[in-house]
Amino acid sequence: MRLNVKHVTRYSFDTPARGLVQTHKLIPSTCGSQNILSWTVTTGDAIRGAAFRDSAGDMVETISVRGPVDELVIEVIGEVETVDLFGVLRNYRETVPPTTYLRRTRMIRPDTALRELSAAALEGLDGDSALNRAHALARAVNEAIEYVPGATEEMTTAAEALAGGKGVCQDHTHALIAVAHAADIPARYVAGYLHSGEDAMGEASHAWAELYVQGLGWVGFDASNRCCPDERYIRLCSGYDAQDAAPIRGIMNAGVKEHLDVSVAVMSQYQQ
Amino acid sequence: MLNGAEVRAAYESLERWHKSMPDDLRSLKQSEAENLFKRVGITFAVYGEGGDPERLIPFDMFPRVFTNSEWRKLDRGIRQRAAALNAFLADVYDRGEIIKAGRIPEHLITKNAAFEKAAIGFRPPRNIYSHIVGIDLVRTGADQFFVLEDNCRTPSGVSYMLQNREVMMRMFPQLFVENRIAPVDGYARLLKKTLASVAPLKCDSEPTVVILTPGQFNSAYYEHSYLADLMGVELVEGQDLFVEGDFVWMKTTEGPKKVDVIYRRLDDDFIDPLCFRPDSMLGVPGLMSVYRSGGVNICSCPGAGVADDKAIYTYVPEMIRFYLGEAPILENVPTWQCAKNDDYKYVLEHLSELVVKEVHGSGGYGMLVGPASDKSTIELFRQKIIENPGNYIAQPTLSLSACPTFVDAGIAPRHVDLRPYCLVGETIELVPGGLTRVAMTEGSLVVNSSQGGGVKDTWVLAE
C-alpha cells in the first residue's frame, strides 16, 4: 500500500521563548515492511545539526532556535510503500541487544496487578510457541483496558492505566510492555502512523509495542486494535517507553506557556 | 609497619619526627592543619558519600609510606586494570565479544541500570570510555593487595590527595628534605593532557576543555572548582552551555566559544534532558546528539558505569585475561554473588563472618559487617537478601593492614585503604600515590568519611 503522511506540529508561546532546543526522531527507517519513497522534515528557520543514526536504528537530529521565538512549526511530509509482514520487523539495522529492553522505567514498571495479568494470560501456555504467548499477552491487555480517549494523561503509568481500566494506545502499549517484562520477554515502545480508515481505534499518530519473539525477532503487537501491524502502519521510532520513543522531545525556558497543535493525516493513494 | 630497608628508614625518620614533637606542638600543628583545610574550603565528604557537606574530614598528620618497589607493582597493576576496564567498555558497547565467548553472562550487562542504550554502537575518541579510573585497594600482607572496587564514572577525592600533600609540605618542610618523596602535584597537568588528548576528530585546533559541575550545592563543588583552577579551564554549569548546529558552545563575554571536551561531574541521568531524565535542570539539552555525532567528547563517557558495578567487579580478572592476555597483577577480594544459587546458600549460612554489600550501594551505607553486628541486624539482612538476592554480594572480612596514626594516647595502628587515580587518554598516566583513608576508631574496618573515617598524606619514596 502506498501511504502519504502529513504531520504538522505547531508550538506557539504566549510570551516569546528565549530560545528552544528539541531532539527529533521524525524520519522512519526502511525495513522489510516499509520502503521510504520520499520524506522531508521542515522546521522553519531552526538551526539543524548533530544528526546521527542511533543504536536502535532511528535517525536522531537536534534543532535549536535562537530566541525570541513565538512560534515553531514542524512539518513532516512523506510517502511510504508498505507491505504486510504480520508485524515482523525484518531487514532492519540495529545494534541494541534485545535483553536491553527488559529495562524498567517508571512508565512500564509492572506492579502486582500487571504481574497477575501476565501470569493469568499465560496460564496453561507453557508449552505453547513464543508467538502464541505474545498474542495472549496482547489480547489480555486489550481486554483489561478499554479504549477510552481522555481517561488517561501523558504521564499515566501502565499500572495506573490498568487500575483505571481505560486508556488510549499509549496506555495499551505501556501495559503490554509491562506484562511482557513480567514474563521476562523483552518489549519496547514503537511510535508511528496508522492509516486508520473507519473502524480502527486510535488516531493517525499511533503507538504499539514490539515483543522479542524467539525465532522471529521483534514482532509488533497493537493491543488497541487487537492485531499485528500490517500495511496500514508506518514505523517511525522506538524506545523503552513513550517518553524514550517520543518523536519530538523539547525543552524551553521555564514559565513559558506553550500551546501545542498537532495534525496528522495518513492517506492511501486511492483516497487522493 | 612493613619490612624493607627503604621503608624502615622512612618510618625511622618519621619515628624521630613524631617523638621529637612535644604534645603541645602536635595539637598546635593539628589545629593549624584544620585551619588550612577550612581556609581553602575543602570540607566535602569523600567519594560522594553524603552526610554533612560542611563537615571537615579528620586529617591525620602521620603519613603513609610506600617503598618504590611496592609502588612499582601497584603501578603496573592499576594501569593494567584501567586498560582492561576500558577494553571491556569498548567491547560491550560494540560487538560484545566477551559475552559471545561466554566469559560474562549477558544479563549482567544488558539488564544493568548503568548500561546505556544511547552508548551502543558508537566509538568515543580513542575508544576510551573511562578517563579517570579510581581503584580502591587494601593491603593484607607485605606484598599482598586486594582491589575492593573500581570507580569508572567520576571518582572524587583527588583534591584531598593534592591538599594533604600541600598541607604537609607547609607544616613540615623538613620532612620533605629528609625523605625523597615522589611529587603528586603533576596530577592537574596530566589530567588536562589526558582530557585534551581525547578531543573529538572534528576539533582541529587546541581543544577547549571544561568541567561541568552540578553547581555549588553539590558536596564535591570545591573539588570541581579546585581542579578547574589548577588546570586553567572553565568551570561551567549546564546553563552556561548550549547546543547549536553540530557543536556545544559556552557562553562567554566575548560571545559563544566551542567546547570540545566536557569533564562532567554529574551522573549520566542528568547530562541531557532530551535523552535521559527530562526533569533534569543540570544538564545541556541536545548534548547527547552532539556527542553521538562526534562534535564533543564527554568524560567519562555515558554508560561507563557498567564496568564498575559490584556484580561486574567479580569479572575484572577475567577481563584482564580476555582482553590483555595477561595474568592479573592485583587480586580481587573473593566475592560471593547472592544471585548464584550456591553462593546464596553459602552466604546465608555464614552471614556472621562476611561483609555483605548492595550491588549498587556506595559509601558504607546498606552494608553488613558480620563479625561486628548483633544477631538482630544479621537477621534483618538475611531477610533483605532472601527478598532480593540479586541485589547483594558478600566478601570475607580481610585482615587489613594498619598504619601508624595519631590518636589521643600518641601513635596507634589504624586500618587504611588507598585510592589511586589513573588517567587514561592517549597514554595511561598515574601519579605516585593516591588518597589514603583511615578508620580513626580502634579496630574499625570502615574508612568511609560518612562513618568517621579520616585522610592522610600518602608517600611513595623515590628510588
Closest to B324 in 3D by CA, of B87, B146, B162: B87
Asked if B285 and B389 sit in the same domain, the reply is no
Asked if B367 and B404 sit in the same domain, the reply is no
- Distance to chain A for B129, nearest Cα, Å: 17
Give me the number of domains chain A comprises: 2
Asked if B89 and B225 sit in the same domain, the reply is yes
ipTM here:
0.92
Asked if A96 and A33 sit in the same domain, the reply is no
pLDDT tens digits, residue range A39-87?
Answer: 999 999 999 988 999 999 999 999 999 888 888 999 999 999 999 999 9
Q: For residue B29, give the amino acid letter.
A: K
pLDDT tens digits, residue range B59-102?
Answer: 999 999 999 999 999 999 999 999 999 999 999 999 999 999 99
Closest to B200 in 3D by CA, of B258, B91, B126, B133: B126
* Chain centroid, CA B284 distance in Å: 25
Of A61, A64, A100, the CB nearest to B244: A64
Domain stops at, among B396, B415, B434: B396
> Bridge partners of A14?
none
Instruction: Give me the pLDDT at residue B1, please.
Output: 45
- Percent of chain A beyond pLDDT 70? 94
Of A23, A62, A96, the CB nearest to B117: A96
Query: Testing the interface with B: which of A62, A94, A185 to mutate, by most B Cβ within 10 A?
Result: A62
Instruction: Give me the pLDDT at residue B310, please.
Output: 79
Of B117, B245, B275, the CB nearest to A100: B117
Asked if A149 and A16 sit in the same domain, the reply is no
CA dist B193 and B5 (Å) reads 36
pLDDT tens digits, residue range A76-118?
Answer: 999 999 999 999 999 999 999 999 999 999 999 999 999 999 9
End-to-end CA distance of chain B: 19
pLDDT tens digits, residue range B188-201?
Answer: 999 999 999 999 99
Is the CB of B110 less than 8 angstroms away from the CB of A100?
A: yes
Mean predicted confidence (pLDDT) in B348-371: 80
Question: What cell was used for A269?
Answer: 493513494
Asked if A232 and A265 sit in the same domain, the reply is no
pLDDT tens digits, residue range B238-256?
Answer: 999 999 999 999 999 999 9
Asked if A76 and A91 sit in the same domain, the reply is no
pLDDT tens digits, residue range B23-67?
Answer: 889 889 989 988 888 887 666 555 555 555 566 788 999 999 999
Residue A38's domain comprises 2-81+248-271
Asked if B117 and B194 sit in the same domain, the reply is yes
Those residues of chain B whose CB sits closer than 8 Å to some CB in chain A are 96, 106-107, 110-111, 113, 115, 117-122, 242-247, 273-275, 278, 285-286, 288-290, 292-293, 295
Instruction: Give me the pLDDT at residue B101, please.
Output: 97
Asked if B57 and B205 sit in the same domain, the reply is yes
Residue B124 has pLDDT above 90, yes or no: yes
Is the CB of A55 less than 8 angstroms away from the CB of B121?
A: yes
Question: What cell was used for B229?
Answer: 583552577
B290: closest chain A residue by CA: A50
pLDDT band at A199 (very low <50, low <70, confident <90, very high): low
> Bridge partners of A24?
A61, A248
Name the more confident of B170 and B463: B170
Bond from prior residue into B58 cis (ω within 30 degrees of 0): no
Lowest mean pLDDT among B285-294, B325-334, B395-404: B395-404
Asked if A179 and A70 sit in the same domain, the reply is no
Domain stops at, among B396, B426, B445: B396
Write the CATH number for A111.
3.10.620.30
Asked if B62 and B149 sit in the same domain, the reply is yes
Closest to B333 in 3D by CA, of B135, B92, B56, B116: B135
Asked if B369 and B421 sit in the same domain, the reply is no
| Pair B417, B436: CB distance under 8 Å | yes
pLDDT tens digits, residue range B371-421?
Answer: 888 899 999 999 999 988 888 989 888 777 788 888 887 888 888 999 999
Instruction: Give me the pLDDT at residue A136, please.
Output: 97
Asked if A111 and A23 sit in the same domain, the reply is no
Those residues of chain A whose CB sits closer than 8 Å to some CB in chain B are 19, 21-23, 47-52, 54-56, 60-62, 64, 66, 95-97, 99-100, 102-103, 240, 243, 249-251
pLDDT band at B266 (very low <50, low <70, confident <90, very high): very high
Is the CB of A52 less than 8 angstroms away from the CB of B292?
A: yes
Q: Please name the helix (run of DSSP H) or strand (run of DSSP E) that holds residue A179, with its range, or none.
A: helix A169-182
| Pair A152, A224: CB distance under 8 Å | no
| Pair B50, B395: CB distance under 8 Å | no
Distances (CA, A) of B346 to B307, B340, B398: 26, 10, 18
pLDDT tens digits, residue range A186-198?
Answer: 999 999 999 887 6
Q: Is B369 exposed, middle or buried (0-12, 13-18, 19+ CB in 10 A)?
A: middle
Secondary structure, 3-state, B138-186: EEEECCEEEEEEEECCCCCCHHHHHHHHHHHHHHCHHHHHHCCECCCCC
Lowest mean pLDDT among A142-156, B13-27, B227-241: B13-27
Instruction: Give me the pLDDT at residue B8, please.
Output: 67
Query: Count of alpha carbons within 13 Å of A262, Cβ hemisphere only?
Result: 10
Asked if A141 and A29 sit in the same domain, the reply is no
Residue B357's domain comprises 334-396
Mean predicted confidence (pLDDT) in B327-337: 92
B289: closest chain A residue by CA: A50
Q: For residue A122, give the amino acid letter.
A: L
Instruction: Give me the pLDDT at residue B4, please.
Output: 55
Closest to B316 in 3D by CA, of B140, B141, B83, B71: B83
Query: Testing the interface with A: which of B282, B291, B292, B306 to mutate, by most A Cβ within 10 A?
Result: B292
Is the CB of A249 less than 8 angstroms away from the CB of B274?
A: yes
Residue A225 has pLDDT above 50, yes or no: yes
Of A49, A102, A103, the CB nearest to B245: A49
Q: Which residues of B touch A24 (CB under 8 A)?
A: none
pLDDT band at A31 (very low <50, low <70, confident <90, very high): very high
Cβ neighbours of B111 (radius 10 Å): 16
Question: What cell was used for B326?
Answer: 595477561
Question: Quick one: angle between helices B375-387 and B341-349, nearest 10?
Answer: 170
Domain stops at, among B396, B412, B428: B396
